[in-house]
């Protein structure tokens, strides 16, 4: 399913609604959930079927493009696409479980410095994502120190974990004869030493190229196969 997650920006939280359940909001005289104090912290596809699955994922194993804290009380999950059509809309993470709410996502805020990328995770199809143009965000996306690689005939750059193999990360994709480990993403290079968003055509090109996961288990990775390990 495709989801978005919103969390309260404490700088906008004059009534201290963050981490408060719906019952507590009413007791404090706060009328409902106010969309304008929320920031979008995640927009992407997750391998989940229920809201409880989403809660577990965003507490135990944050997706690499998540920009917020662990999913907590007062956060809002918006399910934008789902094969189970009955589970759509916006849901408030309450003290116990989730509650369906009216929530105007157009009033929320997202960072201005987000760059559009194509994310590649082991055993998952490629997907479009957004990453903040900051060092810590790039490191978080690849789960460690990063290094660029240039296997493409364009300004697209592959960002990988420089210690992906030696740290025991799972094999991900073979690109131009090199096997890369751990989470990767493809981003643009503006020619001035800075990253930039991929174009629409580039996004579609790399989504198509890397839609099929390459490995399902370690048995597929044979170090005697002649593939260079990165």
pLDDT bin (cut points 50, 70, 90) of residue 16 is very high
What residues make up the domain containing 203? 114-229
pLDDT bin (cut points 50, 70, 90) of residue 86 is confident
Residues 181, 216 share a domain: yes
For the ranges 11-15, 148-152, 214-218, the lowest mean pLDDT is seen at: 214-218
Amino acid 29: pLDDT = 78
Q: pLDDT: is 225 or 50 the higher one?
A: 50
194 token code pair: 């800075």
Place of tokens 């609604």: 17
Could you give the CA distance from residue 39 to residue 117 in angstroms, rounded to a whole number?
20
Give the chain's domain count: 2
Amino acid 210: pLDDT = 96
Residues 146, 88 share a domain: no
Tens of pLDDT, residue by residue over 36-68, are: 999 999 998 888 999 999 999 999 988 999 999
Tens of pLDDT, residue by residue over 175-204, are: 999 999 999 999 999 989 899 999 999 999
Q: Are strands 98-101 and 195-196 parallel, antiparallel or unpaired?
A: unpaired
Rounded to the nearest integer, the mean pLDDT of the chain is 90
Residues 53, 121 share a domain: no
Amino acid 42: pLDDT = 94
Tens of pLDDT, residue by residue over 210-220, are: 999 987 654 44
Residues 127, 98 share a domain: no
pLDDT bin (cut points 50, 70, 90) of residue 87 is confident
Residues 214, 138 share a domain: yes
Residue that terminates a domain, selected from 80, 107, 134: 107
pLDDT exceeds 60 at position 151: yes
Residues 210, 123 share a domain: yes
Residues 152, 52 share a domain: no
Residue that terminates a domain, selected from 82, 107, 132: 107
Name every residue whose Cβ is closer than 8 Å to that of residue 105 and which is 6 or more positions away in sequence.
Answer: 4, 6, 35, 40, 78, 90
Amino acid 223: pLDDT = 47
> Whole-structure pTM over 0.85, yes or no?
no
Residues 121, 225 share a domain: yes
The full 3-state SS of the chain, as one line of letters, equals: CEEEEEEECHHHCCCCCCCCCHHHHHHCCCCCCCHHHEEEEEEEECCCCCHHHHHHHHHHCCCCCCCCCCCCCCCEEEEEECCCCCCCEEEEECCCCEEEECCCHHHCECCCCEEEEEEECCCCCCEEEEEECCHHHHHHHHCCCEEEECCCCCCEEEEEECCCCCCCCCEEEEECCEEEECCEEEEEECCCCCEECCCHHHHHHHHHHCCCCCCCCHHHCCCCCCCEEC
Residues 83, 129 share a domain: no
Residues 216, 141 share a domain: yes
Residues 123, 222 share a domain: yes
Amino acid 228: pLDDT = 56
pLDDT bin (cut points 50, 70, 90) of residue 83 is confident
- Selection from 21, 11, 1 nearest residue 92 by Cα: 21
Q: Cβ distance 92 to 49 under 8 Å?
A: no
Residues 175, 76 share a domain: no
Could you give the CA distance from residue 101 to residue 104 in angstroms, rounded to a whole number?
10
Residue that terminates a domain, selected from 91, 107, 123: 107
């Amino acid at each position: 399913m495709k989801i978005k997650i919103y969390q309260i920006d404490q700088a906008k939280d004059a009534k201290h609604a963050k981490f408060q359940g719906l019952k507590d909001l009413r007791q404090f005289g706060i009328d409902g959930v106010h969309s304008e104090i929320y920031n979008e912290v995640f927009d992407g596809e997750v391998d989940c079927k229920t809201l409880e699955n989403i809660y577990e994922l965003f507490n135990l194993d944050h997706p690499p493009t998540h920009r917020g804290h662990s999913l907590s009380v007062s956060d809002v999950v918006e399910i934008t696409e789902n094969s189970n059509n009955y589970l759509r809309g916006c849901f408030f993470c309450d003290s116990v479980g989730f509650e369906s709410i009216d929530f105007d996502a157009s009033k929320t805020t997202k960072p201005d410095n987000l760059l559009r990328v194509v994310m590649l995770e082991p055993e998952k199809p490629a997907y479009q994502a957004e990453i903040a143009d900051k060092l810590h965000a790039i490191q978080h996306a690849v789960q460690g120190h990063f290094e660029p690689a240039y296997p493409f005939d364009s300004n697209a750059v592959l960002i990988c974990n420089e210690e992906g193999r030696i740290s025991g990360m799972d094999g991900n994709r073979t690109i131009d004869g090199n096997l890369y480990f751990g989470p990767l993403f493809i981003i643009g290079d503006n020619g001035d030493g800075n990253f930039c968003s991929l174009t629409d055509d580039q996004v579609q090109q790399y989504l198509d190229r890397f839609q099929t996961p390459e490995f399902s288990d370690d048995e597929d990775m044979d170090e005697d196969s002649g593939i260079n390990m990165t």
